[in-house]
Amino acid sequence: MKPAEDPIPFDRMRPAERPYFDRFGNGLVVVLPAQRPGPTGWGRGGPPHGGAWIHLGEDGVVHAFTGKADVGQGTRTALALLVAEELRIPLTSVELTMADTDLSPWDMGTFGSRSMPDAGEHLRATGAAVRAVLADLAAARFGVTPDRVELRDGRAGLRGKTGPKSVPYGLLVKGLRRVDTVPLGTPPTAPAAWTRAGTPTVNAGATEIVTGARRYASDLHPPGMLYGQLLFPPSYGARLRSVDLRATEVLEDVTVVREGDLIGVAAPDLFSARAALKTVRAEWETTPQPSEREIVEYLRHHPAEGEDFWDVIHHEAGDVEAALAAAPVTLHETYTTAYIAHVPMETHAALAAWEGRRLTVWLGSQTPFRVRDALADALGMSPSNVRVVVPPTGSGFGGKHSGDLAVGAARLAKAAGKPVRITYSREEEFTRAYFRPMAVVEVRSGAEKDGTLTAWQFHDLNAGSAAARTPYRVPNQKVGNQPVDSPLPQGSYRALAATANNFARESHIDELANRVGADPVEFRLRQLADDRLAAVLRAVADRAGWKARAGPAAQRRTRGTGRGIAVGLEKEGRVATFAEVRVHEDRRLEVVRIVTGFECGAIVHPSNLRSQVEGGTVMALGGALFEAVHFDGGRILNPRLSEYRVPRFRDVPPIEVVLLDRRDLPSQGGGETPLIAVAPAIANAIFDATGTRLRSLPLVPDGTVP
Amino acid sequence: MNGVERTVPADGERSLLYVLREELGLTGTKYGCGEGECGACKVLVDGVAVRSCITPVAEVVGRSVTTIEGLADGDRLHPVQRAFADLGAFQCGYCIPGMIIAAVSLLSTTPRPTAAQVRAAMDGNICRCGGYLRILEAVHRAAATSRSSAGRSL
């Protein structure tokens, strides 16, 4: 039930109707209009987005707004750098509001490496438009044409030595309440001319982080706050048959909520809340669930319709069957990847507080607008009465998309008449979250005797379509994927499908190169259809000191040391990874050295990009070597950090990062693609060292090469 | 507690972490796993890093506890904090208080640690963003600056 008098939410109003100046004070606002999701998905103009806006106040403060969230990947500083660049002001003069549904433009969510190509481009265009208006205002004031105006360090003056004294931006917009939209084709500053963007900068928030002053959602504690706990099914696929809350409802100071399948309690301290939850008598109806041992067969027999991340691609060229039949060299192999967990250091946390019929939820989230709408739906409210704020968040990696926790906290807070925070325990984080999908990839290839590819058949089960297409020239191809009805909950994950597809393809290419006795670098360079990717591969081979090799690997193998290389092209980023490994006499694997090269167009924030590439490489090491969710009968068997191993200091080899800065190309995201060549590079190095070809991730669950 | 005597009415079995965060409002110390595996909850007890999530609060009665909030001298950051901030040795930042505490504990007993000693001392702390190499760099820089400032004061 939606009261008719409720206004529409800020982000859905037309720009001219939004009460910008009531909220942010007099001045100038420039808006880049939204592109709404079309009825058939993403429109011709690219992904849907809510645009961007920038407010310039009478005090000269430049305040930019985006719906994207920074959950630790450093986009806050990168985006602010772009605004500073366009406005010709120091980075410290930019305020940036992100991911607050009462203040920000709508956004579909922070995923898919879209923050730089979407929000970055929008803020650049908006900033350039603000600059154009400032030049006009200053020109009118000085009685000159706008081209004679120079904007520098927050002041407008005249080019050359003579003329009136420069004035601060704030003075130019004094008394204004002007809203402009970004004119089509407003060109931002070309990356080649950047002076602020593109230079190393420490990320925002350093002092609050190192002093412990930064408040994450799980740190928030308003007066009177209660601790919430939700009842969860004991296993996947279990349904609530009956529930008896009598013993719970008599507890003093305990709020109990039951709304359909949602059962929750709240109490003044965590221990009372946990104890109260234990008094709930619930009966569950379980259904048989596949075990880990039979999972591959299960996936093969449970196809599903594609949706969301599991969109389906089908690409065909030439006649792959005929080409396979005619090829002198053929290879047919299957590669698998395990379910793995995101394991954000900060578990999911949501704080809900009501003020009359307005609800505010603070939530570590990558999809605040989606959560706002889910809250409004679940609670029968207008979205204009729901505010979702994303405070600093202890990482996400694709794992923080869901709003279940927020709905639970909101219902409990409403029933209790007090703010309620729910923070997942680590075990809840493992069992209530969703996983990176398990994937089964089958590759059949055909080649000439010198390795020239003639046939390529690539079919992935449950990984997703990203990076399924091959970057190599092959005349006859058939590439497709099949979504699956997964027995474990699965969802977004940093570079999810691309990791599986790239592992399969780059392992397979290495197998072919070895089969025909070709050098793996030369083999790739000869057949890559993408010059930018070839350039990254050359840069990495150079840095690694790659020595060309020929002949079957068995003839070269010495003392258990091996080197491997792999490439990847995804989300408009190009990556190549070199790995050197040592397999000790007891078969223990040691990764000795990694070199990762990456190119994603013009680099906005080089120190942060380097950090993303290093960190992404480390995260990829976990999935490559030992991370796996174990399960049986619909239960997770290793839902603890003592049982689910993630990379530690001891696992990290020297990692050299080679960044290629292409200022002639648009900036793309860098948080995901740097992960995707790590696993195949290591698998290829293990083969080089031992002759053992490993085709399943994780490669060495117990640390040793079989 | 950070140089001040504090009285807390609490069940002695409760974890030091819970008392710090939920009863004293010192939320700089983080929960990560609840079983002493990740190091996000580290604090100094009598100068030595301990995992507060598996330390019953009764164990620290009468002892000196320093949390991340108690390291700086007013606005003057501790050299380890300074090194982390200057190098931007953080991504989401959630693990950093525990990392800094582990490093302070190490440098107090081993002011000139080798690379292997630093890795060993820090290995109980997890950074899921994978910022390990920059964190190592920050610890080494903190060791170097502490030495040079100690030298100056002589």
CA gyration radius, chain B = 15
Inform me whether the pLDDT recorded for A100 exceeds 50. yes
SS3 A362: strand
- For A133, the domain range is 10-210
Q: For the purposes of burial, counting CB atoms within 10 Å of the CB of B119, is it exposed (0-12), middle (13-18) or buried (19 or more)?
A: middle
Residue A34 or residue A316, greater confidence:
A316
User: For residue range A193-207, what is the model confidence (pLDDT) as tens digits?
Assistant: 999 999 999 999 999
A414 shares its domain with A524:
no
Q: Which of A498, A481, A88 is nearest to A305 (CA)?
A: A481
Pick B130's closest partner by Cβ from A74, A618, A641: A618
Percent of chain A residues past pLDDT 70, beyond the cut: 95
Residue A214 and residue B72: Cβ atoms within 8 Å?
no
- pLDDT (mean) for A345-369: 97
CA–CA distance, A468 with A313 (Å, rounded to integer): 8
B4 found inside a domain: no
CA gyration radius, chain A = 27
B64 shares its domain with B92:
no
**Phi, psi torsion values for A456, nearest 5 degrees:** -145, 110
Chain A hits for B31, CB-CB cut-off 8 Å, are: 218, 347, 423
Pick B128's closest partner by Cβ from A221, A343, A425: A343
Q: For the purposes of burial, counting CB atoms within 10 Å of the CB of B150, is it exposed (0-12), middle (13-18) or buried (19 or more)?
A: exposed
Pick A206's closest partner by Cβ from B88, B122, B123: B88
| CATH number where B86 lies | 1.10.150.120
Chain A hits for B95, CB-CB cut-off 8 Å, are: 345
- For B40, the domain range is 16-70
Residue A202 and residue B85: Cβ atoms within 8 Å?
yes
Q: Which of B70, B90, B108 is the last residue of a domain?
A: B70
Residue-level pLDDT at A4: 43
Chain A hits for B90, CB-CB cut-off 8 Å, are: 203, 206, 209-210
Chain B hits for A618, CB-CB cut-off 8 Å, are: 130-132
| CATH number where B48 lies | 3.10.20.30
Q: Which of A451, A477, A473 is nearest to A529 (CA)?
A: A473
* 10-residue mean pLDDT series, chain B (154 residues): 94 96 97 98 98 98 98 96 98 98 97 97 98 98 83 42
Question: Into how many domains does chain B fold?
Answer: 2
B142 found inside a domain: yes
pTM over 0.90: yes
A252 shares its domain with A334:
no
Tokens standing for residue A444: 């059949």
Residue-level pLDDT at A3: 44
| CATH number where A63 lies | 3.30.365.10
DSSP code per residue over A64-94 = EEES---SSSSHHHHHHHHHHHHHT--GGGE
CA–CA distance, A170 with A155 (Å, rounded to integer): 9
Residue-level pLDDT at A183: 87
Residue B131 and residue A344: Cβ atoms within 8 Å?
no
A632 found inside a domain: yes
Residue-level pLDDT at A34: 86
A38 shares its domain with A167:
yes
Residue A202 and residue B29: Cβ atoms within 8 Å?
no
A205 shares its domain with A235:
no
Q: What Cα–Cα distance (Å) separates residue A698 from each residue in A122, A625, A683?
A: 39, 5, 10
**How close is the nearest chain B Cα to the Cα of A331, in Å?**
36
B88 shares its domain with B148:
yes
- pLDDT (mean) for A167-179: 97
Residue-level pLDDT at A695: 98
B62 found inside a domain: yes
A193 shares its domain with A242:
no
Please state, rounded to an integer, the average pLDDT across all residues of chain A.
Answer: 94
Residue-level pLDDT at A186: 76
B31 found inside a domain: yes
Residue-level pLDDT at A552: 64
Residue A640 and residue B33: Cβ atoms within 8 Å?
yes
Chain B hits for A617, CB-CB cut-off 8 Å, are: 130
B90 shares its domain with B25:
no
Q: Which of A145, A179, A210 is the last residue of a domain?
A: A210
A124 shares its domain with A60:
yes
Cβ neighbours for A626, distance < 8 A, ≥ 6 positions apart: A645, A698, A700, A701, A702, A703
Cβ neighbours for A320, distance < 8 A, ≥ 6 positions apart: A455, A456, A457, A476, A477, A478
- Classify strands A589-599 and A655-660 as parallel, antiparallel or unpaired: parallel
DSSP-derived letter for residue B53 is G
A631 shares its domain with A511:
yes
Q: For the purposes of burial, counting CB atoms within 10 Å of the CB of A40, is it exposed (0-12), middle (13-18) or buried (19 or more)?
A: exposed
B2 found inside a domain: no
Pick A216's closest partner by Cβ from B26, B91, B94: B94
Q: Which of A37-46, A317-326, A669-678, B37-46 has the lowest mean pLDDT?
A: A37-46
A272 found inside a domain: yes
Binned at pLDDT 50, 70 and 90, residue A308 comes out as low
Q: Which of A170, A188, A210 is the last residue of a domain?
A: A210
Chain A hits for B77, CB-CB cut-off 8 Å, are: 207, 210-211
B101 shares its domain with B43:
no
Residue-level pLDDT at A2: 43
Pick B96's closest partner by Cβ from A209, A215, A615: A209
**In sequence order, what are the beta bridge partners of A65?**
A53, A97
User: For residue range A583-624, what is the model confidence (pLDDT) as tens digits?
Assistant: 999 999 999 999 999 999 999 999 999 999 999 999 999 999
Binned at pLDDT 50, 70 and 90, residue A36 comes out as confident
Inform me whether the pLDDT recorded for A221 exceeds 50. yes
A135 shares its domain with A194:
yes
- pLDDT (mean) for A502-525: 97
B88 shares its domain with B135:
yes
A406 shares its domain with A313:
no
Q: Which of A44-53, A221-230, A258-267, A601-610 has the lowest mean pLDDT?
A: A44-53
Written as one letter, the residue type at A244 is D
